[in-house]
Chains A and B, each alone.
Chain A
Amino acid sequence: MRNQTTRGWRRYINVVNIGALIIVVLTTAPLYWMATASFKGTGEISASPPTLLPGHPTTGNYADAFGGNSLGRYLFNSALVSVVSTVVVLALAFFAGYALARLPMRGRGPIMIALLMISVFPAIAVVTPLYLLERSAGMLNSYQGLIIPYIAFNLPFSIWILRNYLLGVPRALEEAATVDGAGPLRTVLSVILPLARPGLFTAGVFTFTATWAEFLMALTLNSEDSFRTVPVGMALFSSQYTVPYGTIFAGAMVATVPIAILVLVFRRSVISGMTSGAVKG
C-alpha cells in the first residue's frame, strides 16, 4: 500500500520484494531445469552432481525427438485435434451462450447448473463407455474419435464463459438493430458477434489449452502410435528400463513453447476466464 509512510512502508516493500523473488524462483526453477536439460548431452543429463548449465550445448535431443521418435507426428495430431475442436466449440458455444444469455427460454437455470456439473465431471467415469462405443463403431484410433468427445466436454465451459460475457453487453444495440429491420440471425452475426470477441478469445484459449493437454481420453481412445497426441507420446516415450530424458525434454520444450506464447499473448483473456466465476484449473 503506497500511502503508508516512511519506515513502515520501506519494511513492507522489502518483505513484498523478497516474497515476489521467492515466487518467481520457485515457479521458474523447474522450468529452467527442463530448458537446460533439453540442450545437454546423454552423459551430462544423468550427471551427478547435476550441472547448472550445459557444458557442451547440443541440439541432438531435438534431432532425436523429431527423427528417431515420432514427435512431429504427435505435434501434427495434437494441433489438428485441438484446432478443429476449438473452432467447432466456439461456433456452437457462441450461439448457445447467446441464447442462454438473452432469449427467454424456460429452464435456463437448470441448464446452466447441468453444464457446470458436466464440465467438472471426472473423465475416468466417461472413458469406459466412450471406449466401448467407439470400439463397436470402429472409431478407436481416428481423429474424429477424439475430436467429438473433446468438443462435447469443452462446450459447457465455453458456453458459460460466453453467456457470462454476453450478459454484460448492453441490450440497446440489438434493439437498435431490430428497429433498423435486421432479422434475428443477422442481428446476432453482425452486432453480437463482433462484441463477443473478448469472450471468444477467453473460451478459445481455455479450450485449446485443455485439448492440447488432455491425456486420459487420448491415451485410451487413440493409443496407436500414428494417432497419438503430444501428451500420450510424451508419457509413453519412457520404456520400462530407461527414461530418455533428453528426448523427452526436447519434446517438452517444443510442446510447451507454443502454448506458453498463446497464453502469454492472450493473458488478459486467460485471467478474465479464470476469474469469471466458472473457474477451471
Chain B
Amino acid sequence: MSTTGTTGTTTGEPSGAAARTAGKTTGKTTGKTTGRTARRGTARGTGRGTTERRLARAGWLYASPALTLIAAVTLFPILFSVVLSFSEVRLSYGGFRIEGFTTDNYAALAHSSAWFESLVFTLGFTLVTVVLELALGTAAALVLERLGAARGWILAVLLLPWAMINVVAAQLWGYLYNGTYGVVTWAIEALGGGEPAILGRPVPAMAAMAVADIWKTTPFVAIIVLAGLMQIPRDVYEAAEIDGSGPWTTFWRVTLPQLRPILAIAVLFRTLQAFGVFDLPFVLTQGGPGTATQSLAILGYKTLFQNLSIGPGAAVATSTAALVMGCCLLFLRAFRAQVDEGGR
C-alpha cells in the first residue's frame, strides 16, 4: 500500500514514543540515556550538565507560546465551567454575575427526567454506532486489504464522507429521509413498508441518525484498521495456513488478536466523539421527535443558550465532560498495553 511507507516514517521510534506517551519513567530514562551517551561521544562531553540544562531551557522557550495559549484558552474555561456549574449565574446586559455557591444545579440534574433520558439516548447511540462502525469498518478493511490497483481509488472515495462538514452531511441525510420526497422514504414505500415517517417517530429517527453517523465515520475506522492489517506479518498467516486453518478461523484466531491495539484506539476515539454528538441531531432532528434524539450536548446547548440557564447548563456540560473523561481514563487503564502498542 502506498500509504504504509508514509505511516512507517511518521511513526518511527515506536517503543520510545509509546513509553513516553504513557509517561513511564522507564521510557524516559532510556531516551535520555541514549541521548547522553550520544553526546558524550562528541568532544563536548565535559559540559554535559550545563548543556542539558541549557537545552531544557530552550525547550521550554520553544514550547511555551503553544502551551501558554492552550492553558489559557482551554484549561481555564474547563475549570471555569466547573465553577459555573456550582454557581447561581445571572446574565446582565453585556456581562454576567456569579451569585454564591450552590449544589442545586446538580441536585436538579439528579431529579431531571430530561437529563436521564438524554443520558440513556447518548449511551445507546454511542454503543450502537461504535459497535456497528467497528464491525463494518473491519469488514471494509479486509476487502480493501485484498484489493489490487483499485485500493488507492477506493481510499480516496472513503475520505470524502470523512472530510465533509457534519452539518452538510446532516442536511443531506435530512433530505434523503424527508417524509414526502426523500429517496429513503420512497425506497421503503416501494418495498411495501407503508408510510415510514422516518424522522417523525422516535425509534426510526434514532435509527436514521445512527445510519447517518455510521455513513460518515465508518471510512475512518476502515482506514485505520487497514493500516493495522498491513502491519500483520505475512508469516503469521503462512503458519496458520500450514496448520490447516480456514479463512474464518484464521480471522478470529490470528487477524483479530493482532488488530487489538488498533481496534482499542478506534474504540476510544469513536466513543469519545459519539458521546459528544451535537451537529447531527441539531440539524437532522433538533433532538426530536419530542426529546427522542436529544443527546447530552443538545440538552446542554438548549439549557444554556435557549433557556439561558447558565448554572444548570454548565452542570449538564460538566457532567457530560466528566463522564467522557472518566470513560477515557478507565479505558486507558484497562487497555493501556494495547493503546501503547497501537498509539505509535
**Which of A98, A128, A168 is within 8 Å of B81, CB to CB?**
A128
Spot the interface stretch: B53-61, B201-209, B251-259.
Answer: B53-61
A78, closest chain B residue (CB): B165
Taking a contact as CB atoms under 8 Å apart, the answer to whether A49 and B186 are in contact is yes
**Which of B70, B143, B146, B157 is within 8 Å of A155, CB to CB?**
B70
Taking a contact as CB atoms under 8 Å apart, the answer to whether A136 and B166 are in contact is no
Spot the interface stretch: A18-26, A56-64, A65-73.
Answer: A18-26
Docked pose: A217 CA to B171 CA in angstroms? 19
Q: Is A209 located at the chain interface by the 8 A CB criterion? A: yes
Taking a contact as CB atoms under 8 Å apart, the answer to whether B70 and A152 are in contact is yes
Q: Closest Cβ of chain A: how far from B318's Cβ, in Å?
A: 6
Docked pose: A12 CA to B58 CA in angstroms? 57
Taking a contact as CB atoms under 8 Å apart, the answer to whether B23 and A113 are in contact is yes
A151, closest chain B residue (CB): B69
B67, closest chain A residue (CB): A96
Q: Is B248 located at the chain interface by the 8 A CB criterion? A: no
Q: Which residues of B contact A168 (CB under 8 A)?
A: 9-13
Q: Is B134 located at the chain interface by the 8 A CB criterion? A: no
Given A93-B66, A270-B159, are A120 and B23 neighbors across the interface (CB < 8 Å)?
Answer: no
Docked pose: A125 CA to B278 CA in angstroms? 12
Taking a contact as CB atoms under 8 Å apart, the answer to whether A277 and B3 are in contact is no
Docked pose: A156 CA to B78 CA in angstroms? 15
Docked pose: A249 CA to B318 CA in angstroms? 36
What number of A-B contacts does a CB cutoff of 8 Å give? 374
Q: Which residues of A contact B60 (CB under 8 A)?
A: 99, 105
Q: Which residues of A contact B310 (CB under 8 A)?
A: 128, 132
A271, closest chain B residue (CB): B3
B148, closest chain A residue (CB): A2
List A169-210 residues whose CB lies under 8 Å from chain B: 169, 171, 175, 179, 184, 188, 198-199, 202, 209
- Residues 301-321 of B, flagged 1 when their CB comes within 8 A of A and 0 if not, give 100110000100110011011
Q: Which residues of B contact A121 (CB under 8 A)?
A: 74, 78, 321, 324-325
- Residues 125-158 of B, flagged 1 when their CB comes within 8 A of A and 0 if not, give 0000000000000011001101100100011111
Q: Is B40 located at the chain interface by the 8 A CB criterion? A: no
Residues of B within 8 A of A (CB): 2-3, 6-7, 9-13, 16-17, 20-24, 27-28, 32, 35, 38, 42, 52, 55-56, 58-63, 65-67, 69-70, 72-78, 80-81, 84, 89, 94-96, 139-140, 143-144, 146-147, 150, 154-176, 178, 180-183, 186, 190, 215, 217, 219-220, 222-224, 227, 237, 265-266, 269-270, 272-273, 275-276, 278-279, 282-283, 296-297, 300-301, 304-305, 310, 313-314, 317-318, 320-321, 324-325, 328, 342-344
Q: Would you mind naming 23 contact pairs between A and B with Cβ atoms under 8 Å apart?
A: A27-B161, A103-B55, A124-B297, A128-B81, A129-B78, A129-B80, A152-B70, A159-B66, A164-B10, A167-B12, A213-B164, A231-B167, A232-B167, A243-B171, A255-B165, A260-B164, A271-B223, A272-B3, A274-B220, A275-B224, A276-B7, A277-B21, A281-B270
- A-B pairs, top 5 by smallest CB distance, nearest first, are A168-B12, A109-B23, A103-B59, A152-B73, A125-B321
